[in-house]
Structure 1
Amino acid sequence: MTTSPDSAWYKQLHWQIFIGLLVALVYGLVVRGAVDPSQFESYRAPFSFVGELFIRLLKLIIIPLILTSVVTGIQSLKEPSELGRLGVFTVGYYLMTTLLAVTVGIGVVNVLQPGKGLNLSAPEDGGLEPTPLSEVFLNIVPENLFGAFAAGDMLPTIFVAILTGLAILAAGERASLIRKFFTQANDLVLMVTDWIMATAPVGVAALFVSTLLDPKLGDLATFFGDMGIYMVSVVGGLAIHAFVILPLILLLIARIQPFFYLSALAPALLTAFSTASSSATYPVTHECVTERAKVDRKAADFVLPLGATINMDGTALYEAVAAVFIANALGFDLTFAQQLIIVLTATLAAIGAAGVPSAGLVTMIIVLESVGLPGTGYALVVAVDRILDMCRTSVNVWGDSVGAAVVGRFMSPNRADVASG
């Protein structure tokens, strides 16, 4: 929902979402303190329903938004060669920032050494199977494009959208009608997105209550205490990447003041934190980047869908930290070479992590087995995954948004620097 910066604070979306989260926190804590845990589910059920409805609304608009925005973004370029330069720059930038994030995570976890000395036994097999990286890349090309749309598969949808946009660009005037169709369809999709985003404060608050009252969460004090150092390692690494590395990139390369950009992205980051899904947050991210931060729309239309799928800075960092923690907890001493393998594998495996809650748990098995750790070790971190998932998803979305600003600068190197809203 687009709001003017001059609107009263309570009419601005990010403040509405923040208030919703505070109310949800108070309600969740009151219920946890006054109600027997066996009754949590009855208090949680209505909020779970509302939260699920909000997620469904977001998912409803994702594929249409990606398809129309990517196609219109590409067809607005001057020539196909411009797309090639843009694509190479974007993918190269995302790989670089993901590699930086993983390196930061490895550094933090080696300093704090969570799990050292526990010497736990490997948990029993929980049944998760990783998707081979070769299959991830093979599935980029769909066997049936309508099947890919129906399944909500991001990579195949982006592939089809790029092909369609490139064909329209190459056809020129022969495709004038289809060009007009996608332009108008994109306008309609953005209008529906505004309507859906008007419900975000309620939907986000409901999701947060559902998390707080999850019966599996157990005692909050014990929950945070048992995994404290591990969580500090993950959150500390995410904080360094989010508040040091990415702002420096934003300031030095995109020439945008980090505080202004962070304020503009607040609704998207709060939505990402509550939904733990970069894909579900995509409509909000697109709205914030283009309407609130005023990033070049052509850059945002191309970069953000790609980033929501392959740019998982937070997920890659989390997987690297979790792998070292699991190794420590199981009594394995990782060599420098093994940690280097973790860095590279986590960077690549993050590409295959779907933008949905806890998707990183599945791709983490790839990282564990790359250095000979049992894939079942993921069970050691499942208990605190939801909280960390919310944190790393916010970093994923923040990284996507910074990428859009950097690519926007790359496309328009002579534009004025952004110092404020």
Structure 2
Amino acid sequence: MVNKHVQNQNQAPEVVRLVVPPRPVQHSDGGPLTLKERLKRCRPEMNADNLLLVLTILGVIVGIALGSVLRFANLGPTEKHLIQYPGEILMRMLKMMVLPLIVSSLISGLAQLDAKESGKMGSWALLYYFSTTMIAAIIGIVMVVSIRPGANTARDAAIQKGEEKEVSTLDAILDLIRNVFPDNLVQACFRNDETIYKIVPNKAYNASVNGSEPTIRVRSLILKDGMNVLGLITFSIGFGTILGAMGPEGQVMTNFFFVLNEIIMRFVKLIIWYSPIGIACLISGKILEVENIADTARMLGMYMVTVLCGLAFHAIIVLPGIYFAVTRKNPWTFFRGMLQAWVMALGTASSAATLPLTFRCLEENNNVDKRVTRFVLPIGATINMDGTALYEAVAAIFIAQLNRMELTWGQIITVSLTATAASVGAASVPSAGLVTMLLVLTSLGLPTSDVTYIVAVDWMLDRIRTSINVLGDAFGAGIVHHLCKADLDKIDEEVIKEIGEQALSPLSPMSPFDPFRRMSTHLEVNYEGAIERRRSVRRSLRRDHRSPQELRETQSRDLNGLAVNSYQPIPNSEEHSPAGDADTGI
């Protein structure tokens, strides 16, 4: 035994390798996964949004190919109508959702702003949101009026020469204000007011002059078919603001509109799944109707250039300029901290899907207070749509130019206001701008079927304008944090003072001078941290990027460091000896 022991000591120790068999992947109920389910887990990137994007692109390609081939078939009007019919059904379904969508989105979004509780933070956030959205709409109008992507100079000149129409700017502005405040809310759902001039005989003269009867122009107010979008938006904004100010008294009505908005959102998502078929039929039908394909392709190219130039100007000049003017900080450093969320917005085309990552970038990279981000970002994802407002303003005037329609100043003002308000009600889901686009077209009396022209390129522009929306939300949170930082610090000081007064009492259950209390608190924090680590995997699947380390640090700071570090320990206290701290591990 001794020789064997000595021999074992002289030999090199043998390396023992434990081979642990891989744990089979199982269901939550314990059963093994099938091959089909394993394949699904191997490609998690093919989610519903990406599948819808692929189908939409395929619909555009199929529509272009089908329309190009059928142009050589010399189809009659009936055949062309049947080809466009599925697209007509799509447009009717989208128009059906316009009214409930704008009302429920506006009311549910504004009801979250309680003026009594949010105070200064909510006021600054609303001012920033509506200001930047209006600026974006104005930039879009300036771009499209200057570049004129849908205009053909020769044809426009001929039409303008033959049509000398006198338009009163004063009447257009008065009609705009009149429609903002409708006298009948139900009637505003399908009609709006318009001033016209009628030629009537002048009864003041009984005899005709030179064989002709004298006439005069009389102003008359008529009801024109079409939804009064401005009136409905005004009512919804007022309703939502007052509802949010009521607090607990209006909670029942607030919950009703939240549920209604969720129902409409799900309804819209179902309709969007039908959109690839409708888009293919609409595009093929429009190709059959277009006389000159080359001119149309050139106009769409100029339209894309116009939108991209406007979005680039807003993202590079306007938003960083406002941030620097208010905070006096480097906006590009702030943008670098938001780069990950910006890239994700390009991929998902959804402000809501990017929201968890936006929280993380603002709080961890740019050090924005969580109270600001948790208040500002959810509201911003609903009502702050800078890119959408710019896009809708450009698209509406582009369609007006395609129809050889010269807009008056009153109509241009209507475009800016309607695009701003419609973007406020735009859902934070992919391609929601196409739905709210119908609001702007309806306010101008333009044919909604012409939205087909921009559908072919909307899948790409949708991602770019969504990234601008997310960037606008982020800059807004940074500005609100800068403006409200003094108030937030004051609240923190009051909380620390209140906790400290409670902790000074040795008999207080929150006293930090009790070693058993400190030990139990420390163990409780560690236990909560362990539980949080176990739950972090599940939470990551739901795109919640809050880390367990963040929770542990927050709890440790609040429970141990806040009161203990703010006050000196009692002299000659056994509980606060270095050995006592070492024993408790604090």
| Alignment TM-score > 0.5, same fold | yes
Alpha-carbon shift at residue 54 of structure 1 (Å): 3.7
Distance 1:394 1:29 in 2: 19
Distance 2:92 2:155 in 1: 42
Distance 1:6 1:184 in 2: 40
Q: CA 1:74–1:293 in 2, change beyond 3 Å: closer, same or farther?
A: same
What is the match of residue 78 of structure 1? Answer: 117
What is the match of residue 315 of structure 1? Answer: 393
Indicate which of 295, 298, 302 corresponds to 2:379: 298
Alpha-carbon shift at residue 349 of structure 1 (Å): 4.1
Question: Does the alignment pair 1:350 with 2:425?
Answer: no
Indicate which of 64, 75, 81 corresponds to 1:41: 81
Identity of aligned residues (%): 8
Alpha-carbon shift at residue 132 of structure 1 (Å): 1.8
Q: What are the within-5 Å matches in structure 2 for residues 315-334 of structure 1? A: 315-316=393-394, 319=397
Q: Give the match's secondary structure for 2:275.
A: helix
What is the match of residue 255 of structure 2? Answer: 183
Which letter maps to 2:352?
T
Distance 1:77 1:401 in 2: 32
Which letter maps to 2:98?
K
Q: CA 1:22–1:229 in 2, change beyond 3 Å: closer, same or farther?
A: closer
Residues 21-55 of structure 1 show CA distances to partners (whole Å, capped at 9, x for unaligned) of 41453255236514433122223324433x14541
Distance 2:176 2:241 in 1: 23
Q: What are the within-5 Å matches in structure 2 for residues 5-404 of structure 1? A: 8-23=44-59, 25-26=61-62, 29-30=65-66, 32-34=68-70, 35-38=73-76, 39-49=79-89, 51-52=90-91, 54-56=93-95, 58-59=97-98, 61-75=100-114, 78-79=117-118, 82-105=121-144, 108=147, 115=152, 120-122=157-159, 132-148=172-188, 153-172=228-247, 176-214=248-286, 217-219=289-291, 222-223=292-293, 225-226=294-295, 229-242=298-311, 245-246=314-315, 249=319, 252=332, 256-257=338-339, 258-265=342-349, 288-294=350-356, 296-304=377-385, 311-316=389-394, 319=397, 346=412, 349-352=415-418, 355-357=436-438, 359=440, 386-388=452-454, 399=465, 402-403=468-469
Which letter maps to 2:315?
L
What is the match of residue 530 of structure 2? Answer: none
Kept in 1, the 8 Å contact 2:307–2:390? The answer is no
**Which stretch of the first structure deviates more once superposed, 143-152 or 89-98?**
143-152
Greater C-alpha radius of gyration: 2
- In terms of fraction of residues, the more helix-rich structure is 1
Which letter maps to 2:275?
G
Residues 232-286 of structure 1 show CA distances to partners (whole Å, capped at 9, x for unaligned) of 4333222222356437748857663333222221xxxxxxxxxxxxxxxxxxxxx
What stretches of structure 2 of length at least 5 have no aligned partner? Answer: 1-40, 192-226, 321-330, 359-376, 423-435, 483-543, 546-586
What is the match of residue 284 of structure 1? Answer: none
Q: Give the match's secondary structure for 1:144.
A: coil
Q: CA 1:317–1:42 in 2, change beyond 3 Å: closer, same or farther?
A: closer
Aligned residues: 351
Q: Give the match's secondary structure for 1:74.
A: coil
TM-score by structure 1 length?
A: 0.62
Q: CA 1:14–1:140 in 2, change beyond 3 Å: closer, same or farther?
A: farther
What stretches of structure 1 of length at least 5 have no aligned partner? Answer: 266-287, 331-340, 365-377
Q: CA 1:228–1:361 in 2, change beyond 3 Å: closer, same or farther?
A: farther
Kindly report the root-mean-square deviation, in angstroms, between the aligned alpha carbons of the 2 structures.
Answer: 5.2
Distance 1:321 1:154 in 2: 18
Distance 1:142 1:195 in 2: 28
Instruction: Point out which structure has higher relative CO (alpha carbons under 8 A, 6+ apart).
Output: 1
Alpha-carbon shift at residue 298 of structure 1 (Å): 1.9
What is the match of residue 285 of structure 1? Answer: none
Distance 2:107 2:159 in 1: 47
Which letter maps to 1:289?
S
What is the match of residue 24 of structure 2? Answer: none
Q: Give the match's secondary structure for 1:94.
A: helix
